[in-house]
Amino acid sequence: MLGLRSLQRATRTPAFRQMGARRGEATMGVGAKGTGAAQDNAFNRERAAVKAHAAATSDTWRKGSIYIVIPSLLIAAVNAWRLWDEHQEHMKHEPPLEERVEYPYMNIRTKSFPWGDGDKTLFWNDAVNHHKRDE
């Protein structure tokens, strides 16, 4: 008896009635008489307002991306390129890798790495890194 009453109450809810509606009526805004026109109610007015707001907001983001982000990225790229050139000019005056001083805190190895010859780290770069092994 309790199960039947709860089922009867559940079938009276708008969500349950909407599930039983023909496909497209609930999603396309078909009126009760089947005229095909959207009903003028609070939900449809709010939905139209949200669409208008989304259109205006997406235009703002598009303009911001074109007129702010892209020039900022170009300026940052030019700055990085300029700093790279300065760094390369500075590195020309450094002694070769083989002649540089190796301090005790550099390249500390407590055990060998499981790859290669066991001396080079995973991100080893022969053009930048150098390790003087104890002969």
Query: Per the domain annotation, does 70 fall within a domain?
Result: yes
Query: Per the domain annotation, does 78 fall within a domain?
Result: yes
C-alpha closest to that of 30 among 18, 14, 46, 13: 18
Kindly tell me if the per-residue pLDDT of 112 is higher than 90: no
Spatial distance between the Cα atoms of 70 and 96, rounded to a whole number of angstroms: 39
- What is the total count of domains within the chain? 1
41-69 as b/e: b if 16+ CB within 10 A: eeeeeeeeeeeeeeeeeeeeeeeeeeeee
Domain of 58, in residue numbers: 42-92
Query: Per the domain annotation, does 82 fall within a domain?
Result: yes
Query: Per the domain annotation, does 9 fall within a domain?
Result: no
pLDDT tens figures, 30-89: 445 555 567 889 999 999 999 999 998 999 999 999 999 999 999 999 999 999 999 999
Query: Per the domain annotation, does 125 fall within a domain?
Result: no
* Structure tokens belonging to residue 52: 């208008």
The better pLDDT of the pair 20, 3 is held by 3
DSSP state of 22: P
Query: Per the domain annotation, does 17 fall within a domain?
Result: no
Query: Per the domain annotation, does 20 fall within a domain?
Result: no
Query: Per the domain annotation, does 130 fall within a domain?
Result: no
Phi, psi of 46 (to 5 degrees): -65, -40
Percent helix, strand, coil in the chain, to 5, is 55, 0, 45
